[in-house]
Structure 1
Amino acid sequence: MQILSIYFLIFLAIVAAVNYVLPQKIRPYWLLIANMAFYASYKIAGLLVIIAGIIISYTAGRLIQRSPDNKKTILAGTILALVGSLCYFKYTVLLGATIRNIQELVRGSSDFRLESILIPLGISYFLLQMIGYVVDVYKGEVDANCSIVNYALFVSFFPTVVSGPIERAGNMIPQYENLPGFDEDNIRKGILQIIWGFFLKMIVADRLGVIVSTVNADPAAYKGTVVFIAVLMYALQIYTDFGGYSSIAIGSARVLGIKVMDNFNSPFLSTSVAELWRRWHISLSTWFRDYVYIPLGGNRKGTARKYLNLLITFFVSGLWHGAAWTYAVWGLINGIFQVIGMILMPARNKIVEVLHIDREAFSHRLLKTVFTFLLFSFAVIFFGKDTFAQAVLIIKNMWQFTPWVLTDGSLYTLGLDRPAFNLMLLGLMLMVIADIAKYRGVSIPEVISRQSLWIRWCIYIGALVLITVCGVWGHGYDATSFIYVQF
């Protein structure tokens, strides 16, 4: 059951309706059944993996809390088992390809082969939640004396199990222990967020994807500004695609009365790469900060060690995204950008002081915002590429300055006709307006919710008509094409 489908919306409506009419004590069991049914609709074999992980991590948490003398051993063994499972399912093929490439480089040939393994959907997400739970129990931040039903709900919650947000047990389990009743405000805000997610995905991301795919399909055939624009559009596509998914997931949870953490906070309005990563995929960034960067020593062991810890964290984060070394390089580049920014900070501060630059001036902030977006877009060139040669070819071809493509109609030959292209631009403008409002602390859903009934329904109906006509029946629609679902 794809989350971007009418079947998911029907499923969500049925689950919510039944949930609110059931007695409080029965609701967790109903939601757990819904979770398992949703996950089983993809692959039954994957369901067995998530159930096994739930049993292992829940049992480990109880043992850690009951046996403090042995908790280090239990923690280490559990993390080894969970990380080992992730590596087996996700990185076996990468390991085989790497070994084969090394043998071919050394001997000129290789007979080493590893069979492909079916990767359980969402394994990168629910295993991180399990690891976080066990570590939090070890540190005494979470009580392991919760019911296994509520813990299983935390791990398998159907709006987030496929692609996050990656939640924390301390936030979610207490909500499952006291599931709220029907609340019109929750329903209204949840539906608005779902609509916004569908808009970002189907109106904006899918159209951006058409142009990006056209250029990436034959990168040697395109040069200059067209390639440069496609690189920028790829960064925007990833944001609107995953931001759209996150909005649907968060809104779906809200319909059920569950509050899930926000995953994006206007990242492309950031004035530095470090700030961007505090606003981008927040649930993952904070997870790697708390469970990788800080345990490595964080910034507590000197400057050089801080830089090393940062690079290791981003390298691992990149590899988490996909079983290819191009993902690891993408992560490493983002880490390098941050390290360079820290190293140059004293010099930058001195220049600002000498030239009397107002850091809060609009022009200065705009310059830093644009530069940050360009750095992020450059790193994204490696994201999702099968080989380094593809990324290098794009980098090589993007520097030729051909500004006439902006006016000679070349952009309309990349898979979108003029109306579809203009609709994409309109969608991007609305996204920017929404992000600016959010950056300034203005919640557009709150603003809409305060309007009169007829204005609200005009907005609802207008949005649904736009998404249906220009999304489902528009160019590039593919219900299975969420970028981050593959991770």
Structure 2
Amino acid sequence: MLFNSFNYLLFFPVVCVIYYLIPNKFRWVFLLLASYFFYMNWEPIYAILIFLSTFITYLCAFKLDKVKDIKVRKVLLIASIILNFGILFLFKYYNFLTDSLFNFLNYFNIRVRFPEFKLLLPVGISFYTFQAVGYSIDVYYNKLKHENNFGKYALFVSFFPQLVAGPIERATNLLPQFSKEIVFNYAKAIEGTKLIIWGYFMKVVVADRLSIYVDSVYNNINMHNSPTLIIATIFFAFQIYCDFGGYSNIAIGCAKILGFDLMTNFCRPYFAKNCPDFWHRWHISLSTWFKDYVYIPLGGNRVSKKQKYLNLIITFLVSGLWHGANWTFVIWGGLNGIFQVVYSIFKPFRIKLSNRFTNLIQIISTFILIDFTWIFFRANNSADAIKVIQNIFTKHGPLFFGDNKVFIYGFIGLIILIIKDIYDECSFTLTFENNKIIKYTWYATLTILILMIGVFDGGQFIYFQF
């Protein structure tokens, strides 16, 4: 069930009404049923997988709370990680690995046939797997106590607003909220509604408009020249930001209306002044997950510089692989890792200047580097990515506009987005800032733009495939 579908626009209000009508002690049960109904709208049989992941991590945490022996605790945690990631590997990475091995061995005239599994990738499997495994690790390190109520823990893993594309929540934040008595909060509901409206604007007005142009270019690379590929790549940077950032805003807004607080997932990433700053602003829930559960266990900053740099590269390579079973994602992750290492090496030699011009130069430079990596993320394969880079530097000509209406509407949405992000980033204080008429006019205008120039073709969110 997509957030930008009629089904969800009917589903969520009905859930809200029933949720606040029933007694507080039964609400978690209702939300659990609603969450599984939400997930089963894609492929009902795959609800078994999310239940299996829930059961494994719950059982592991239950045992971890009972056992004191360090060796036994390690075995339990490793078993939970292997079983969960084993399921993820089978559905997401097995065919990628066997295909890569086949091609590698074939290069040396060694023919090996591997068994093939024609499996549909379950929606959101990477998200809920990481969330469930994170819970096991937190219990292992005594960051929280095991949740005795299996149903509430199952709700933590399957909570529908953030189930299929995050934010990847921590048990320390979300799980205790299911045991609190929640009363309808008007101010919170208004705040959530504002986030939802802005999220829909980002998705259907900006992301889905820009995607029409981006797809027409990136699916026909040989037909396009340098200016067109540069514009398409810039558009994709904002497309993926608005697609995923829009989803996160809708998810956080829906949860807020229901009385729950999810973590912020995006913080105006294209205002980052360097690559590490970008990753403090982009997909924050995943970045912090990799930091806490991969980078720090590898040694983090507590090791030699060479080992630290290696840890950074490994973490970003794993992050790239998390995004998809394709070498383009691995290269994308590797490039981001290299940028982190280079920044870390040269950081002591930076000249610290603080003025608007130098800040602007830093922001533009960082955007160019990040946008370069998006070429590999968006390209259909590695060869296409290399072709895009070659054409950018060698193939000149006039800019391709495509459908003028698509280009203009997408550009209008992009300008509004940038103005809004500048306003939030710079923390402007305007004389009419607290004027309710101005605020309601702003959100009414966004709603009108959503209805007038939004794309309502049921376009899937990019991160659903991960």
Q: Name the TM tier (shorter chain).
A: over 0.9
2:454 to 458, 466, 471: 471
Q: 1:380 to 1:155 in 2, by over 3 A?
A: same
For 2:177, the aligned partner's letter is Q
- In structure 1, how many angstroms separate the alpha carbons of the residues matched to 2:9 and 2:429? 24
Separation of aligned partners in 2, 1:337 and 1:18: 49
- Which residue is equivalent to 1:300? 302
AA of the residue aligned to 1:363: F
Q: Using a 3 Å threshold, how does the CA distance of structure 1 residues 327 and 101 change in structure 2: closer, same or farther?
A: same
Which residue of the other structure, out of 398, 420, 429, is the alignment partner of 2:406?
Answer: 420
If the length of structure 1 is used for normalisation, what is the TM-score? 0.91
**Contact 1:122-1:163 within 8 A present in 2 as well:** yes
Shift of 1:423: 2.5
Distance 1:334 1:145 in 2: 37
* 1:355 match: none
Tell me, in whole angstroms, the C-alpha distance in 2 between the residues paired with 1:61 and 1:216: 46
Structure 2 unaligned regions, length at least 5: none
Which residue pairs with 2:241 in the alignment?
Answer: 239
Question: Deviation digits for residues 5-24 of structure 1, max 9, x if unmatched?
Answer: 12212111111111111111
Q: Which residue of 1 aligns with 2:132?
A: 130
The answer to whether the 8 Å contact 1:125/1:161 transfers is: yes
Q: Secondary structure of 2:131's partner?
A: helix
- Pairing partner for 1:178 from 168, 177, 180: 180
Residues in 2 aligned to 1:111 and 1:258: alpha-carbon distance in whole angstroms: 50
**Mean alpha-carbon deviation: is it higher for 146-155 or for 277-286?**
146-155
State the alpha-carbon separation in 1 of the partners of residues 387 and 422 from structure 2: 34
Give the equivalent residue in structure 2 for 1:17: 17
Q: Which residue in the other structure is 2:463 paired with?
A: 484
2:316 aligned residue (314, 317, 322): 314
The Cα offsets for residues 322-348 of structure 1, whole Å up to 9 and x where unpaired, read as 01111011001000011111112233x
Q: Which amino acid aligns with 1:412?
A: F
Distance 2:260 2:114 in 1: 48
Distance 1:84 1:51 in 2: 15
Aligned to 1:434: 420
282-291 or 208-217, which deviates more: 208-217
The amino acid of 1:62's aligned partner reads F
Deviation at 1:83, TM superposition (A): 1.2
> What amino acid maps onto 1:207 in structure 2?
R
Q: Is the counterpart of residue 34 in structure 1 residue 34 in structure 2?
A: yes
Unaligned runs of 5+ in 1: 353-357
- 2:386 aligns to what? 392
Q: 1:384-406: per-residue Cα shift (whole Å, max 9, x none)?
A: 4332110000000012485x74x
Q: CA deviation at 1:254?
A: 1.0
- Taking every aligned residue pair, what percent have the same amino acid on both sides? 38
Q: Any conservation in 1 of the 2:208–2:459 contact (CA below 8 Å)?
A: no
Q: Which shifted more, 10-19 or 428-437?
A: 428-437
Provide the residue aligned with 1:371 in structure 2. 365
Encode CA deviations 1:22-46: one digit per residue, 9 max, x unaligned: 1110111111111111111111111
1:439 offset after TM fit, Å? Answer: 2.3
- Once residues 214 and 85 of structure 1 are traced to their aligned partners in structure 2, the CA distance between those partners, rounded to angstroms, is 35
TM norm structure 2:
0.95
CA–CA separation in structure 2 for the residues paired with 1:145 and 1:224: 56
How far, CA to CA, are the matches of 1:113 and 1:303 in structure 2?
42
d(CA) in 2 for partners of 1:206, 1:110:
42
Q: 1:182-201 residue pairs with structure 2 within 5 A? A: 182-201=184-203
1:459-485 CA distance string (max 9 Å, x none):
44432222112114xxxx432321111
Q: How much has 1:435 moved relative to structure 2?
A: 1.7
The equivalences for 1:214-293 within 5 A come to 214-293=216-295
Q: Is the 8 A contact 1:324 1:386 kept in 2?
A: no
Cα displacement string for residues 348-407 of structure 1 (whole angstroms, at most 9, x for unaligned residues): x2xx3xxxxx621111111111010000011111114332110000000012485x74xx
Correspondences of 1:53-72 after superposition (within 5 Å): 53-69=53-69, 70-72=72-74
Which of the numbers 87, 103, 106 marks the counterpart of 1:104? 106
Are the structure 2 counterparts of residues 29 and 223 from structure 1 closer, same or farther at C-alpha, using a change threshold of 3 Å? same
2:377 aligned partner? 383
1:113 Cα deviation from its structure 2 partner: 5.1
> How large is the Cα RMSD of the aligned pairs?
1.9
Distance 2:63 2:362 in 1: 50
Give the drift of 1:443: 10
Match of 1:462 in 2: 445
Asked if the contact 1:194–1:247 (Cα under 8 Å) also holds between the matched residues in 2, the reply is yes
Residue 179 of structure 1: CA displacement?
Answer: 4.2
One-letter amino acid matched to 2:323: H
The count of residues paired between Structure 1 and Structure 2 equals 463
Structure 2: which amino acid aligns with 1:433?
Answer: I
- Confirm or deny: 8 A CA contact 1:322 1:384 kept in the other structure: no
**Distance apart, 1:241 and its partner CA:** 0.9
Deviation (angstroms), 1:68: 1.7
Q: Is the 8 A contact 1:93 1:117 kept in 2?
A: no
Query: Which is further off, 158-167 or 422-431?
Result: 422-431
CA distance, structure 2, for counterparts of residue 363 and residue 455 of structure 1: 32
**Structure 1 stretch displaced more, 100-109 or 426-435:** 100-109
CA distance, structure 2, for counterparts of residue 284 and residue 171 of structure 1: 15
The residue aligned with 1:361 is 355
Aligned pair in 2 of structure 1 residues 240, 85: CA closer, same or farther (>3 Å)? same
1:111-160 alpha-carbon deviations (Å, 9 max, x no partner)? 44513212221110000011100000011111104411211111000011
Contact 1:265 1:435 in 2 (8 A): no
Structure 1 counterpart of 2:142, one-letter code: G
Find out whether 1:49 has 2:49 as its counterpart.
Answer: yes
Q: Provide the C-alpha distance between the structure 2 equivalents of 1:340 and 1:92, rounded to a whole number of angstroms.
A: 33
Q: Aligned partners of 2:342 and 2:450: how far apart in 1?
A: 42
| 8 Å CA contact 1:265, 1:438 repeated in 2 | no
The equivalent residue for 2:340 is: 338
- Give the AA of the match of 2:465: Q
Please give the alpha-carbon distance, in whole angstroms, between the structure 1 residues aligned to 2:417 and 2:185: 28
